[in-house]
């Protein structure tokens, strides 16, 4: 297996706080890597560091064998690093379809320069995530579950090679979670490598090939889900508290 992404001793400080502390790991091509950890552990910061919305304080981020650490987010997106946002940011005055078309216009490579072609692509992305019937609605008419799917469709429209999903199941019920799991599996089967942050342990366990646990900005475990979830340090730091 070859690594599509390597995080090498990455640290990110905010004033006096170390949000991500000397974290290293690799993500193999075609893999689904789950990332779990308590609120404030540094998971969203990690996504920002990989996608380029936040520069690291130190360390290196290697994508497909080349350092992208000094590249801005739009350049990383064009190389194939896509993400969803935990705090969803649809363009409120645009239709659901055009929200996704924007992704196609600015995505992988140089994107699609033609609006009609971008809309065609966007229709396929909406179909893929099960949002076709809302294509002509305004994005702000969507409820929570719809917005989560829209985030996925927007990210997919940029044709990423690596997709970073930040809590795309938060606030969803069991049926909706199962549907999103199905969509993420389909994304992987289409050849995209995935990093997925999630609090729903059952979901992340069934979805992930490998699990990484972050606690106070540090990586405390990395391995196959069963071993990680029964690891003593992980149970004490994270799972134990959740059950309490």
Phi-psi category of 166—alpha, beta or left, where left has phi over 0 and alpha has psi -120 to 50? beta
Does 14 bind ligand ADP (CB under 6 A)? Our answer is yes
Q: How far is the CB of 187 from ligand ADP (least distance, A)?
A: 21
Do residues 165 and 84 touch, judged by C-beta distance below 8 A?
Answer: yes
Q: How far is the CB of 218 from ligand ADP (least distance, A)?
A: 12
How many residues in total does the chain contain? 244
Q: Which stretch binds ligand ADP (CB under 6 A): 40-48, 68-76, 102-110, 182-190?
A: 40-48
Q: Which stretch binds ligand ADP (CB under 6 A): 37-45, 71-79, 146-154, 185-193?
A: 37-45
How far is it, in rounded angstroms, from Cα 92 to Cα 107? 20
195 forms beta bridges with: 33, 164
Residue 193 CA from chain centroid, whole number: 10
Among 34, 42, 52, 90, binds ligand ADP (CB under 6 A): 42
| Nearer residue to Mg ion within complex by CB, 144 or 182 | 144
| Nearer residue to ligand ADP within complex by CB, 18 or 115 | 18
How far is it, in rounded angstroms, from Cα 102 to Cα 210? 32
Give the one entry of ligand ADP, Mg ion, none that residue 57 binds, where binding means its C-beta sits below a cut-off of 5 to 8 angstroms depending on kind: none
Helix axes 115-129, 96-105, angle to 10 degrees: 120
218 forms beta bridges with: 215
215 forms beta bridges with: 218
Among 5, 7, 27, 41, binds ligand ADP (CB under 6 A): 41
DSSP assignment of 13-77, as one string? EETTEEEEEEEEEEEETT-EEEEE--TTSSHHHHHHHHHTSS--SEEEEEETTEE-TTS-HHHHH
Q: Which stretch binds ligand ADP (CB under 6 A): 23-31, 35-43, 72-80, 90-98?
A: 35-43
Q: How far is the CB of 26 from ligand ADP (least distance, A)?
A: 20
Site string for Mg ion, 202-231 (x = CB under 5 A): ------------------------------
Give the one entry of ligand ADP, Mg ion, none that residue 119 binds, where binding means its C-beta sits below a cut-off of 5 to 8 angstroms depending on kind: none
Among 25, 34, 44, 81, binds Mg ion (CB under 5 A): 44
Give the one entry of Mg ion, ligand ADP, none that residue 42 binds, where binding means its C-beta sits below a cut-off of 5 to 8 angstroms depending on kind: ligand ADP
Provide the binding-site residues for Mg ion, judged by CB under 5 A: 43-44, 86
């Amino acid at each position: 297996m070859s690594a599509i992404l390597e995080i090498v001793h990455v640290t990110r400080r905010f004033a006096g706080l170390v949000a991500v502390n000397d974290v290293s790991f690799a993500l193999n091509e075609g893999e689904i890597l789950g990332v779990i950890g308590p609120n404030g552990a540094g998971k969203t910061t990690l996504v920002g560091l990989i996608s380029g919305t936040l520069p690291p304080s130190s360390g290196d981020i290697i994508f497909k064998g080349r350092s992208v650490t000094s590249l801005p987010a739009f350049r990383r997106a064009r190389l194939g690093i896509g993400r969803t946002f935990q705090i969803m940011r649809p363009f409120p005055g645009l239709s659901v379809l055009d929200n996704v078309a924007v992704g196609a216009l600015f995505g992988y490579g140089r994107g699609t320069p033609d609006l009609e072609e971008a809309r065609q692509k966007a229709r396929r992305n909406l179909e893929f995530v099960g949002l076709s019937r809302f294509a002509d609605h305004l994005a702000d008419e969507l409820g929570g579950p719809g917005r989560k799917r829209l985030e996925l469709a927007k990210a997919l429209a940029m044709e990423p090679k690596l997709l970073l999903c930040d809590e795309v199941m938060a606030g969803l019920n069991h049926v909706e979670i199962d549907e999103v799991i199905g969509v993420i599996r389909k994304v992987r089967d289409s050849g995209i490598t995935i990093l997925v942050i999630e609090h729903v342990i059952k979901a992340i366990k069934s979805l992930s090939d490998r699990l990484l646990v972050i606690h106070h900005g540090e990586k405390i475990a990395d391995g196959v889900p069963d071993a990680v979830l029964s690891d003593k340090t992980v149970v004490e730091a994270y799972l134990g508290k959740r059950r309490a």
